[in-house]
Amino acid sequence: MALSAADLATAIHDAMVDPSRATGAVDGVALADMCSAIAEAVVQHITTHASVVPTLLVAPPGGGPVTGTGTVA
Q: What is the DSSP string of the chain?
A: ----HHHHHHHHHHHHH-TTS------SHHHHHHHHHHHHHHHHHHHHH-----SS-B--TT----B------
Angle CA(62)–CA(50)–CA(73) in degrees, nearest 5? 90
Tens digit of each residue's pLDDT (9 = 90 or more) over 20-58: 988 888 899 999 999 999 999 999 999 888 877 776 777
- Higher per-residue confidence, 11 vs 68: 11
pLDDT at residue 3 tops 90 = no
Gap between the Cα atoms of 29 and 38, Å rounded:
14
pLDDT at 1: 67
Predicted confidence at residue 60, as pLDDT, reads 76
